[in-house]
C-alpha cells in the first residue's frame, strides 16, 4: 500500500474538528513529495499542474464530494471535486463543444482570463444599465463577490482541457448575472442545476443534491420553481461556455438572453424578502393578539 494512502487515512482519522477531512486529502494531493509514486510521475504539463494517480483522484473526489454536499458555497471543495471527476469524458465533451463553435475555437486560441483587472470593473460600472457589463458588475457589487477568487486548475492532465475548466470556473459569475440568481445556498443550487443541464459536468449534478440541506420551504420552492426552470433553460440554451464575455460587455443583456435561449427565473431575493416581511407581519399580529387577549 502506498505511503500516500496511509498518510491520507491518518489525516482523515485525526480530523475531528478544524480543517475538513477533504482539505487534508487535497493538501496531500497537491504535494509533489507526499508519496513514493510521485517519484515516477511525469513532469507537469503546464504551470501549476499536479498529476494524480487514479487512487488519489478517487480519494479526492469522494472526500470533496461528500463535504461539498454539506455546503455548496465552498468553492474549494467544489473545485477539487470538479477536477477529480471531469475526466476521462466530461471535460473532453465540453472542449469538443467549444471546438465545434467558431467563437469557442477563438476562446481556446486566445485563452483570455477573467479577473478584475482584465475586465476593468470601474469602466463596467460606467456602462449604461441593461448592458451585459453593467449587469455583471452590479451583480458582483450586490453580492460582494470578486472575479479574482477562482482557484487555478491543477489536476486535469491535458493543458487545453485544464483551460476549459478554468474558463468555466471564471465564467460562473457571468451565469449568475445572466440569470440574476444570488449566492445564497438556494441560488447556488439552482444555478448548478442549470449548469448541469447545459454542461453535463458531474460536479454540477452532485451539487444539486445539496437541495436536501435546505429548509423545507426552500426545498418546496426549489422543486416547484427553480429546478424546472434550471432543467428547461439549461437543456434548451446554447452552450454558455462558448460566450466570449469580454466581447459582449456593451451588448443589451436581454438581447443576449434571447439569443442564448435563457429565460431569467423569478427573482429569488425578492421572493425571500417578501417571505421575511410576511413572517414579521404574522409574528407581530400574533404578539398583538396575545397582548389583547391578556388584557381582556
Q: Which residues are annotated binding-site positions for Zn(2+)?
A: 172-173, 176, 188
- What 3-state DSSP class applies to 97? helix
Backbone angles phi, psi at 131, to 5 degrees: -85, 160
Which residues are 214's β-sheet partners? Answer: none
Distances from the Cα of 272 to the Cαs of 125, 217, 225, in angstroms? 27, 10, 13
Helix H segments across the chain? Answer: 3-14, 21-29, 54-70, 75-85, 90-99, 102-110, 116-119, 121-126, 132-143, 159-179, 185-199, 202-208, 216-221, 227-236, 253-260, 268-295
Enumerate residues 6+ apart whose C-beta is below 8 A from 230: 190, 191, 193, 194, 196, 197, 265
| Residue appearing with cell numbers 423545507 | 216
Which residues are 252's β-sheet partners? Answer: 131
Tell me which residue of 72, 213, 98, 243 sits closest to 163, measured CA to CA: 98
Backbone angles phi, psi at 151, to 5 degrees: -70, 150
> Binding site membership: which residues?
172-173, 176, 188
- What 3-state DSSP class applies to 252? strand
For the record, the C-alpha cell of 255 comes out as 438581447
Give CA–CA dist 112/115, Å, rounded. 10
Backbone angles phi, psi at 252, to 5 degrees: -70, 125
Amino acid at each position: 500500500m502506498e505511503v500516500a494512502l496511509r498518510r491520507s487515512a491518518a489525516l482523515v482519522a485525526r480530523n475531528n474538528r478544524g480543517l475538513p477531512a477533504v482539505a487534508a486529502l487535497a493538501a496531500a494531493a497537491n504535494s509533489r513529495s507526499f508519496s513514493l509514486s510521485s517519484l515516477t510521475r511525469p513532469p507537469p504539463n503546464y504551470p501549476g499542474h499536479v498529476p494524480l494517480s487514479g487512487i488519489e483522484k478517487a480519494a479526492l473526489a469522494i472526500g470533496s464530494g461528500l463535504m461539498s454536499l454539506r455546503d455548496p458555497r465552498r468553492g474549494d471543495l467544489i473545485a477539487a471535486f470538479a477536477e477529480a471527476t471531469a475526466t476521462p469524458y466530461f471535460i473532453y465533451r465540453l472542449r469538443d463543444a467549444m471546438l465545434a463553435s467558431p467563437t469557442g475555437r477563438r476562446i481556446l486560441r486566445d485563452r483570455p482570463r477573467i479577473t478584475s483587472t482584465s475586465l476593468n470593473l470601474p469602466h463596467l460600472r460606467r456602462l449604461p444599465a441593461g448592458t451585459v457589463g453593467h449587469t455583471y458588475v452590479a451583480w458582483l457589487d450586490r453580492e460582494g463577490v470578486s472575479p479574482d477568487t477562482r482557484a487555478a486548475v491543477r489536476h486535469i492532465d491535458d493543458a487545453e482541457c485544464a483551460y476549459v475548466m478554468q474558463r468555466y470556473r471564471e465564467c460562473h459569475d457571468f451565469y449568475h448575472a445572466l440569470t440574476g440568481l444570488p449566492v445564497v445556498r438556494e441560488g447556488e443550487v439552482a444555478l448548478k442545476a442549470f449548469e448541469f443541464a447545459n454542461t453535463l459536468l458531474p460536479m454540477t449534478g452532485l451539487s444539486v443534491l445539496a437541495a436536501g440541506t435546505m429548509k423545507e420551504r426552500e426545498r418546496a420552492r426549489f422543486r416547484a420553481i427553480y429546478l424546472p426552470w434550471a432543467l428547461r433553460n439549461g437543456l434548451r440554451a446554447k452552450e454558455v461556455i462558448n460566450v466570449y464575455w469580454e466581447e459582449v460587455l456593451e451588448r443589451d443583456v436581454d438581447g443576449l438572453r434571447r439569443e442564448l435561449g435563457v429565460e431569467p427565473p423569478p427573482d429569488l431575493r425578492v421572493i425571500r424578502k417578501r417571505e421575511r416581511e410576511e413572517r414579521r407581519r404574522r409574528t407581530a399580529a400574533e404578539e398583538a393578539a396575545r397582548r389583547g387577549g391578556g388584557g381582556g
